[in-house]
Structure 1
Amino acid sequence: MLAVEIVSPTSIAMDRITKPALYAAAGIPYYWRIETFEGLVVHTHTLDPEGQVYRPTGSYEVRLDVPEPWAISIPIERLRPRHMKER
C-alpha cells in the first residue's frame, strides 16, 4: 500500500505533518510527498514499524526511480499537476 500526498499551498501543515502521522498510525508502509512550490520534488518514505513514523528514502527532482513498493522509473515532468501544465 502507498499513500501519495501533493502538498497544497492552503494546507501545508496538514499535508506535511498531520496526514503522514495518520498514514503511519494506520500502518501504510510507503508514503510519498510531492512538493510543487519551486518545481516538482518527490520525497519517498518507508514506515518504521517500531516507531510508527516514516523514514526518508529519497528525494527526486528529475526522475523518480524506486524499487519499491514496486519498481518504477518515470520522469518527474510527467507528474506535473494540472495547475503547472502549459496551456
Structure 2
Amino acid sequence: MVVVDMAAVEFPASRQRWAFEDLLELPESDWRFEIVDGGLHMTPPPSLYHDGIWLRLRDLIRDAVPAAYVVHGPTAIDLDPSYLIPDLTVLRRDTVRRGRNLIRPSEALLVVEVVSPGSKSADRILKPATYAAAGIPHFWRAEFQPELSLTAYALPDGARTYTEVGTWTAGQTAPIRAPFEVDIEIAELAPDR
C-alpha cells in the first residue's frame, strides 16, 4: 500500500469547476494533475521505465519531424472544460513563445501517451477520444505491460474517432509514414535494453 502525504498539496476548500489557471496555482508535486470535464484528475508519478520510453520516443520523433515542428512534453492542451497533458506533443514551432503554458488542439500535429498502471483507462479510452473529438490528427500510444508495444492512430477527414494505423511489438519495426516518416524499432524503446 502506498501512502501519499497529501498535506504537501493544498487544495482549494471549494471548487465548482476547475480551470487551467487553478492548475497553475497548485504547488509543485510528483503527482500529475489534469482537468477532465471541469474536475481535477490526479495520477501517480510515472515510473522510471515509463520515462525511459518517453525519452527514447522524444528523441526519435525530434529527429524525424519537419523543421516547422517541434517536440514538447508534457504540454497542456486546452480542451475546455478539460485540460489534458500528453507525454509528448508535436506542435508547430511558431506556437512556442515565452509565457505561454497552454496550446490549442489545432496547433498539435501528434500527441503521444505512454501508458502506466495508474493511467490505463485515461490513456487508452478517455484521452484518445478527447483528442480525436478535438481534431488532433494523430495519436500514438506506447505500452510496456504486458509487453512493449506502439500503436499509431490517424484521424480520417471529417471523423471524430481515430482509425488504427498499426500496432507493433518488440522484434518489429513500426514503419510510420504520417504525419512524418520514421522507422521505430520497438525493442529499442525499452530503457533496459
Q: What stretches of structure 1 move > 4 A for 4+ residues in a row?
A: none
Residue in 2 that maps onto 1:76 = 186
8 Å contact from structure 1 (residues 5, 33) kept in 2: yes
Q: 2:148 is matched by which residue type in structure 1?
A: L
Report percent identity of matched pairs.
37
Alpha-carbon separation, structure 1, partners of 2:181 and 2:146 = 27
User: Which of 137, 140, 149 is matched with 1:32 structurally?
Assistant: 140
Distance in 2 between residues matched to 1:36 and 1:69, nearest whole Å: 24
- 2:113 corresponds in structure 1 to 5
TM-score normalised according to structure 1 size: 0.84
Q: 1: distance between equivalents of 2:144 and 2:110?
A: 19
| Secondary structure class of the residue paired with 2:175 | strand
1:17 aligns to 2:125 (yes or no): yes
The 1-side partners of 2:157 and 2:168 are apart by: 24
Q: Tell me which amino acid in the other structure corresponds to 1:58.
A: G
Q: TM-score, normalised by structure 2?
A: 0.40
Corresponding letter in the other structure for 1:14: A
Q: Which residue of 2 aligns with 1:41?
A: 149
Residues paired across the two proteins, number: 83
Pairwise CA RMSD of aligned residues?
Answer: 1.5
Q: Deviation of residue 51 (structure 1)? A: 3.2
* CA deviations over 1:2-56 (Å, ceiling 9, x no partner): 1111111112111101110111122110111112102211111101343310011
Tell me whether 3-12 or 45-54 shows the greater mean CA deviation.
Answer: 45-54
- Which ranges in structure 2 are unaligned for 5 or more consecutive residues? 1-108
**CA apart distance, 1:57:** 0.9
Q: For 2:154, what is the secondary structure of its paired residue? A: strand
CA distance in 2, matches of 1:51, 1:74: 27
Larger Rg: 2
Report what 2:12 is aligned to. none
Higher strand share: 1
